[in-house]
Structures are given as structure tokens and as C-alpha cells.
Amino acid sequence: MINVKAAAVQISPVLYSREGTTEKVLKAIASAAKQGVQLIVFPETFIPYYPYFSFIQPPVLMGKEHMRLYEEAVEVPSPVTEAVSKAAKANSMVVVLGVNERDGGSLYNTQLIFDADGSLLLKRRKITPTYHERMVWGQGDGSGLQVLDTAVGKVGALACWEHYNPLARYSLMAQQEQIHCAQFPGSMVGQIFADQTEVTIKHHALEAGCFVVNSTGWLSPEQVAKICPDENLQRVLTGGCYTTIISPEGVSLCEPITEGEGMAIADLDFSLITKRKRMMDSVGHYSRPDLLQLQVNRDSRSVWQQTPADYAIASENEPNINGKLPTPELPKINEQKPITNN
């Protein structure tokens, strides 16, 4: 029997400060370590903060806030990822962290997974930003749809409404995901968002037969007022928090956190995975691959690729029977490789 102690963190950022929010991450890891936590999950794009401004401001007015987010965004690798890597290693803890990643002139909603030895196993980008988020982030690709062998088992992750993409979820399920790490922004839309989050993560736990460790962010009333001075709009930046840990049987293993900062902690008994899948294994005995299959493009996408040397050689060949020169097949972009912080 395998047991893992996991923590889902509900926490507020230090607005407009990459360094300040990073420091809160490091303190939370240290605090969790004192309680024997082996896996910790932080909210969506927690460093430096979720772009709440894009939900309440029209595009023509959000340029200033968008630029401020650029200035505080995280490059990978960078001193931020190095600090988190060292904390993960020092505390023998798997860390799942959401960041606003800056890559050149673009921002991405990025999930980072650090193993207990400090290595950065995965940098995955949200495949399709949701609604207002499309004015802020670029799109990810299929290279991040991976389940990783970590010190605590097979771990996968999705962000927010990626959970409404059943094929994205199924791609992780098919890789025998044991612990699913879900991240949401929190402090948005009100109670209905919290209710929807609860249904969404419980459904994935039941369907996948895995544990779900779900973390949402939280804004204090003072932070809401700072982001949105218009009192008529402030209500849309409240509620929507539901931080908890769900068993493969769809049961909360700890009291959900719906307001304020806190840490939901629970022991994950892996025998519950077998217990659930004995009855319904959606990627095993309950599947019908003769009828239904999922095809996933796991190539990482790039705007350029080097022309292979044999392309020039081909141009010297004789034309084919159609009178055209043969064109060699271009190589596929390799899958994204794990990134290691030294």
C-alpha cells in the first residue's frame, strides 16, 4: 500500500511583485514540509498573479496592466525556477506551480512540475486560454499533455477550463494518471464558479480513478479594490474558491477551503485507485478501443525549423515522372524534453 501526503494551497499573491509572490511560495513549501507534505500544488498562474484585470477591463484600456504583467512575468529557467527547485530538493517535495511565463514577446499560462530532487520535469502551457485570457496569453501545444513518473507516483496537471476539454483529460487518463493536479484562479464570478469547480474535479476523479489535488487562488477585499476601483464590478472578483483534495471515489478527503488563505492536506491511499478501477477503469476494461480511440499530437510547435541537409541534395536529382523534383520529408519537431535546474 502506498500513501502520499498532499497539500493544495489557497493563497493570495503579492500583487505586482514576482519576488514577493515567490517568497510566499517558498514559505508555503517550508510550512508544508513541517507537516510531512510530499506533494504541494499552488494556484493557476500564481507567480506573479493571475491577470484579473483582463476580466474587468476592455482590451483598449488594459495595456498598462498588461505591460506590468510582462515586467513581472517568469522566464524558464530563471532565478524564480532555481529558487523553487532548491526548495523542492531541500524538502524532498514534488511542487506543482502555476506561473505567467514570458518567452520573448509572448506570455503563457504555464504549469511547472518539480520533482522531489529539484529537477524541473515539465513546463506545459495551457492549450487554449479561456475567453478574456486570449488577450493575455498565447496557446500551448500537445507536448505538455504528459503524465510524469515522480517521487509520489504518476502525476498530471491541467489548468482551469482545460478540464472542460474531455479529450485533454482523457489523454492524461490513458497514461495511467494517479494524482491529478488542478489549478484555478479563484476569486472570480462568485459561488457558481466554486460550485462548477467542485463538480468538475469530482467528475475527473471518478472518471479517471485518480486523486485530484485542486488549488485555487484568493484575493483579499483590499486586493479586489486595488484591482477594480469600480465598486459595481468588484463582486465579479469575489467567491469562486474551492481548494480541496478528492479521492478516486469522488469524496473530499479534507474540508474544502472556500475563503481566505489556507492549506488543504490529506493522505492519499493508493489502494483506493485499485478499488475504483476494479469496478470502472475507463482506459482499461471499461474502454472500447475497437470503437473509440484518442489520437494526440505530442509534437512541440515552433515557428521555424532547419532545412535538412538532404533537401539540397534532392534538388540535384532528376525530376520524377510528374516532372517535379522530389521533396524530402521534413523532420518533426522533437517532443519537449524535461528541463533541469542546475
Largest CA distance in the chain: 74
Q: How many CB atoms lie within 10 A of CB 298?
A: 14
The three-state secondary structure class of 249 is coil
R_g over Cα of the chain: 22
Please state, in angstroms and rounded to a whole number, the distance separating the CA atoms of residues 224 and 235. Answer: 9
The three-state secondary structure class of 83 is helix
Choose, from 24, 65, 101, 126, the residue flagged as catalytic.
Answer: 126
Q: Is 160 a catalytic residue?
A: yes
The three-state secondary structure class of 269 is strand
Please state, in angstroms and rounded to a whole number, the distance separating the CA atoms of residues 326 and 316. Answer: 10
Q: Are 123 and 336 in contact (CB under 8 A)?
A: yes
Q: Say how many residues make up the chain.
A: 342
Choose, from 24, 160, 162, 277, the residue flagged as catalytic.
Answer: 160
Choose, from 24, 44, 65, 72, the residue flagged as catalytic.
Answer: 44
**CA-CA-CA-CA dihedral for 112, 117, 121, 123, to nearest 10:** 20
Q: Is 86 a catalytic residue?
A: no
First-to-last alpha carbon distance for the chain, in angstroms, is 34
Please state, in angstroms and rounded to a whole number, the distance separating the CA atoms of residues 260 and 188. Answer: 14
Helices (H), 159-294: 166-173, 191-208, 221-227, 271-279
Residue 141 backbone dihedrals phi, psi, to 5 degrees: -140, 180
In the numeric block, the cell 524534453 is attached to 337
Nearest to 120 by CA among 131, 111, 108: 111
Q: Is 210 a catalytic residue?
A: no
Grid cell digits, residue 238: 469575489
Residues labelled as active-site residues: 44, 126, 160
